[in-house]
Amino acid sequence: MMNSILLQAPANAGVMQLVLLGGMIIVFYFFMIRPQAQKAKKAKKFQEELQKGERIVTIAGIHGIVNKVNDDNTIQIEVSPGSFLKIEKSAISMEWSDQLKKDAAAVK
């Protein structure tokens, strides 16, 4: 008899587990999912607003100047005078390109 009394869980234990699970989901959303989604949205906007003449850096570390923006999500960059590469817009690093612009502004 004593063993069965000790093994019984409190009546509100299920509610507390649901509250803790809900809290964990909220924490994951605000600290992991939401910031990542905002960063992806910002990167997509950056890639859509690329224009001819902008200095960029690809995720592979290739520096170049945008020469032509194509409609099929590709761009043509000039890596050295007369040397062009066709790359996907998604291969452009927003962080590195912004840092390149900041460094260029600091030099001036």
Domain boundary among 49, 67, 82: 49
Q: How many CB atoms lie within 10 A of CB 35?
A: 11
Are 44 and 55 contained in the same domain? no
Instruction: Kindly give the confidence (pLDDT) of every residue in the chain, 108 residues in length, as a single tens digit, with 9 standing for 90 and above.
Output: 455 555 565 667 788 899 999 999 999 999 999 999 999 999 899 988 989 999 999 999 999 999 999 989 899 999 999 999 999 999 999 888 888 788 877 876
Single residue among 49, 70, 85 that ends a domain in this structure: 49
pTM, to two decimals:
0.68
Q: Which CATH number does the domain housing residue 60 bear?
A: 2.30.30.30
Q: State residue 100's pLDDT score.
A: 79
Same domain, 45 and 85: no
Q: What is the spatial distance between Cα 26 and Cα 10, in angstroms, rounded to a whole number?
A: 25
